[in-house]
Amino acid sequence: MGRGRHKPKREKRKPRMEGTRKCRRYWKERELERGEEERAIRDRAWQLRLTPIDRTKLHTRSVMGSFGVPCFVGRYYLDWRFTCRDCGKAEVWTGAQQKWWFEDAGGEMEQIAIRCRNCRRKERERKAEARRVHFEGLERKRRMKAEKS
Ligand SMILES: [Zn+2]
């Protein structure tokens, strides 16, 4: 058995001494390999329809990550399956929707979907109605005060 032929390729490129030309070439090659890996990951992500995360656009109040982004935040948004808290409907929060919510709508990383589309709309209407009633009440009180004096 010829030793050289059966050796794995990578072992041949191991640096022998720090600072030698061989060593620099080794790291250059590793860099290129890493670039190819990155490209492969990106291609795969595209095939799987993963949505890349733009970390610079994320909004967070979290203290978990050292740079303001929580440590659980990876490279891609993954489709998120959940059951609606109000009606129990199973729904998917897609990566693209998450990207829009976190990066364009300014949603915070700690916020996640808990209600289906329908119940979200109902909740929004309920909140708007509650706000309207609240301000009407304030207005009534203010008027009553004004009438008394
Ligand atoms: Zn629902």
pLDDT tens digits for range 40-65:
877 877 777 788 888 888 876 655 54
| Pair 142, 135: CB distance under 8 Å | no
Q: What is the pTM of this model?
A: 0.54
Where do the structural domains in the chain lie, given as residue ranges? 14-47, 51-115, 116-149
CA–centroid distance, 51 to ligand 1, in Å, is 25
Q: Give the distance (Å) from ligand 1 centre to CA of residue 124.
A: 13
Distance from Cα 120 to the centre of ligand 1, integer Å: 7
Instruction: Compute the distance from residue 133 Cα to the ligand 1 centre, in Å.
Output: 24
Q: Which amino acid is at 35?
A: G
Residue-wise pLDDT for 80-129, tens only, equals 899 999 999 999 999 999 999 989 998 887 778 899 999 999 999 999 99
Other CB atoms within 10 A of residue 134 CB: 10
**d(CA 64, ligand 1 centre) in Å:** 30
